[in-house]
Amino acid sequence: MGIQNTNNNHLFYTLEKWAFQIETFFQSFGLVILALLIYQPTLLFHLFIVGLLPLFNLLLLIYWLPLLLCLLGAEYEDSPLPGKLMPLRPDHFHHQGA
């Protein structure tokens, strides 16, 4: 099973998505931490002491949860429910015959 309309490796696709999610998360998280450091300068110390393991777990969740959902979506793409779970595709609008 491959990704349609591309020659990229599957792992490259998932890691590219993960890198983008991590980048956007740390940009927003950094701004929040920077704003909170103005009010409580010891927050950065506490983040390194207590917050590294939860941040690491969050980074793993950011990768594995969308990957598992994509795999489930690829597995159940041909659902027995007609049109309930799949979006409309352009070939649905073309009628066969005259």
Residue 22, domain member (yes or no): yes
Give the pLDDT of residue 85.
54
As a whole number, the mean pLDDT across the chain is 77
The per-residue pLDDT for 15 is 83
The single-letter DSSP state of residue 4 is T
Return the structure tokens found at 21: 């999610």
81 φ/ψ angles, rounded to the nearest 5 degrees: -80, 110
Domain count of the chain? 1
Task: Tell me the three state secondary structure of residue 37.
Answer: helix
Indicate whether 90 belongs to any domain.
no
Q: Which residues span the domain enclosing 54?
A: 10-76
- Output DSSP code: residue 55: H
Looking at residues 40-50, what average pLDDT do you find? 89
pLDDT digits (tens, 9 = 90+) for 9-34: 667 777 888 889 899 999 999 999 99
Question: What pLDDT shows up at residue 89?
Answer: 59
Q: Is residue 5 part of a domain?
A: no
43 within a domain of the structure (yes/no)? yes
> Three-state DSSP class for 13?
helix
